[in-house]
Structure 1
């Protein structure tokens, strides 16, 4: 019997086999879950192709988190594949290059607003859009990058992650009475497509494995995926509003 046996999950953010979300979807299926993916626009064909590389090909439904139409239609789109959801994985983030890579002071509000809407507000949008399908005991899990610090080159994405983490706490407050848990996994740097798009990302990852008491492999998303799977399972029935660090222990070390 798998950790997620019989669970019905919606997973966002699967774009390549290197995506953390891909490893979450793969592991979830291996642990007995049924998985539905989301994608949109030009990314849709990529996600559909990657979906065929999962242990079981997963259906893909339309979702642009900035589209009110897509958000409004999401529950019905998911209902074409399952009548309820036991879990939702938020693995969505984007910031224009103009607000990253040392451009904190020069960044303009329209680009900052884009980063905040897609990378933070979308957690609330996704939770509300899937709320009609969420059963008591359901779990929403998001992926973050420790927003307590001002990281090199991360700039306004760091601010967006801080807003993301606060959003998770407020969702935990408001969805808790319905029996829905909301938690985050704070992963160390992993060389995903999204990470590689950050100018100067090597400044963040540099020396990470040296600072980690457990060591850190920036090419291995499996530890992060396992933490997400655990939070989606029934093994954390009284945990919500939490951030679980999967970073080799760097978050607990001093300089």
Structure 2
């Protein structure tokens, strides 16, 4: 049997073939899952086009994680394609350029608030929206970038990731009695759509490979996708509130 045979997985954040979420969706299908994607606005056409490049074309439902109407309608929209969700992948993040790229001290609250809402609060919003379709044994898996240190140019997105990691722990506490697991994967730098939107991101990825005991390829999202799929499966039945590092080992090394 494949890892995800008979499971239905909702995947957010698929925009291009370079998106980590695309590789998660592809691998999930290869492991036997039915996959449903989300998108909205002008991005939805991109997602629908990319969905054709998956092993099996996946349906796309509308979801803007900052829209209360979209969140309220999510269960019904997914319900047109599946009667339950066994897994949900949170691959959503955004911060205005004004709070990235070395502008930490210049960041003003409206832009910081946007970063926190889209990149951290949305994990809770997505969990609540998907909860009616989830059952015991379901899993919510999100993507983060190690928030225990201050990175060059990452600025308020780093703060948002710290909030995301804390949010995941509280969700693990409150959804655990329902049998729903909540975990994060902390990936090393991958040249994804999100990374390209951060000015000066090369200052983070530069030198990562020599510092990683296992080495690191910034062009390869597959190791990260494999970790997400493993956490979506029933091979981690008693793991929740965890952050699994997929970064070649850099997080464990001193300077």
Band of TM-score, shorter chain: over 0.9
What secondary structure, in the 3-state scheme, does the structure 1 residue paired with 2:151 have? coil
2:9 pairs with 1:5: no
Report how far residue 194 of structure 1 moved.
1.2
Once the two structures are superposed, the pairs formed by residues 154-169 of structure 1 within 5 Å of their partners are: 154-169=154-169
Q: Provide the rounded CA distance (Å) in 2 between the counterparts of 1:87 and 1:191.
A: 25
CA deviation map 1:214-252 (0-9, x unaligned): 000000000000000000000000000000000000000
What secondary structure, in the 3-state scheme, does the structure 1 residue paired with 2:159 have? helix
What secondary structure, in the 3-state scheme, does the structure 2 residue paired with 1:75 have? helix
Q: Which residue of 1 aligns with 2:189?
A: 189
What secondary structure, in the 3-state scheme, does the structure 1 residue paired with 2:55 have? coil
Q: Which residue of 1 aligns with 2:41?
A: 41
Report how far residue 197 of structure 1 moved.
1.1
Q: Which residue of 1 aligns with 2:228?
A: 228
Q: Provide the rounded CA distance (Å) in 1 between the counterparts of 2:254 and 2:124.
A: 33
CA deviation map 1:11-45 (0-9, x unaligned): 00000001000000000000000000000000000
Once the two structures are superposed, the pairs formed by residues 56-71 of structure 1 within 5 Å of their partners are: 56-71=56-71
Where structure 2 has 5 or more consecutive residues not aligned to the other structure, the ranges are: none
Q: Provide the rounded CA distance (Å) in 1 between the counterparts of 2:211 and 2:173.
A: 34
User: What TM-score comes out, normalization by structure 2 length?
Assistant: 1.00
Q: Provide the rounded CA distance (Å) in 1 between the counterparts of 2:10 and 2:68.
A: 18
User: What TM-score comes out, normalization by structure 1 length?
Assistant: 1.00
Where structure 1 has 5 or more consecutive residues not aligned to the other structure, the ranges are: none
Q: Which residue of 1 aligns with 2:136?
A: 136
2:32 pairs with 1:32: yes
Q: Which residue of 2 aligns with 1:19?
A: 19
Q: Provide the rounded CA distance (Å) in 1 between the counterparts of 2:192 and 2:198.
A: 10
What secondary structure, in the 3-state scheme, does the structure 2 residue paired with 1:26 have? helix
Once the two structures are superposed, the pairs formed by residues 35-184 of structure 1 within 5 Å of their partners are: 35-184=35-184
Q: Number of matched residues?
A: 255
Q: Provide the rounded CA distance (Å) in 1 between the counterparts of 2:149 and 2:41.
A: 34
Q: Provide the rounded CA distance (Å) in 1 between the counterparts of 2:106 and 2:51.
A: 39
What secondary structure, in the 3-state scheme, does the structure 1 residue paired with 2:87 have? strand
Q: Provide the rounded CA distance (Å) in 2 between the counterparts of 1:62 and 1:153.
A: 32
